[in-house]
């Protein structure tokens, strides 16, 4: 039974990291004409979206390798919610954005509660100071 749970946790971890990486790369590959607007439309705020996408890619990499899975699942949920709900602008908030955040949070909940499982690069977290 524990092997099945460890496999599910590994699958959820990989699925969430793919979900985050796809969303970040999709945002970074948009052309200038289809760049989503932030809530406050200012030319300097485009960098906020790029930094958010870079953080999402870094979170996806750490989650794929299983480093601090609980923390990365929480951070990924917050970053994904920020990207999906705030970046297009409040006037274009659609049901698709809300459903995608709900799906992401549903997939992240087992990882937040139970961790990443046995199949990770660094089991038990990173204990070496940087």
Query: Comparing C-alpha atoms, which of 69, 103, 77 is closest to residue 20?
Result: 77
28-69 tens-digit pLDDT: 776 555 555 444 445 555 677 788 889 999 999 998 888 888
pTM, two decimals, is 0.77
Q: Convert the pLDDT of each residue in 68-109 to its tens digit.
A: 888 899 999 999 888 877 765 545 667 877 888 888 899 899
Q: What is the pLDDT of residues 81-90, one digit of tens each?
A: 888 777 655 4
Non-local CB neighbours of 9 within 8 Å, separated by 6+ positions: 69, 110, 111, 114, 115, 116, 117, 119
- Give domain limits for the chain: 2-32+41-114
């Amino acid at each position: 039974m524990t092997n099945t749970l460890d496999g599910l946790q590994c699958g959820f971890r990989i699925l969430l990291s793919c979900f985050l990486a796809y969303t970040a790369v999709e945002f970074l590959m948009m052309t200038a004409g289809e760049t989503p607007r932030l809530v406050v439309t200012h030319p300097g705020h485009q960098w906020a979206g790029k930094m958010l996408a870079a953080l999402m890619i870094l979170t996806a990499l750490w989650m794929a390798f299983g480093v601090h899975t609980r923390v990365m699942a929480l951070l990924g949920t917050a970053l994904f919610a920020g990207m999906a709900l705030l970046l297009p602008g409040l006037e274009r908030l659609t049901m698709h954005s809300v459903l995608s955040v709900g799906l992401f949070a549903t997939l992240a909940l087992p990882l937040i509660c139970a961790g990443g499982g046995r199949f990770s690069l660094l089991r038990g977290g990173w204990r070496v100071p940087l």
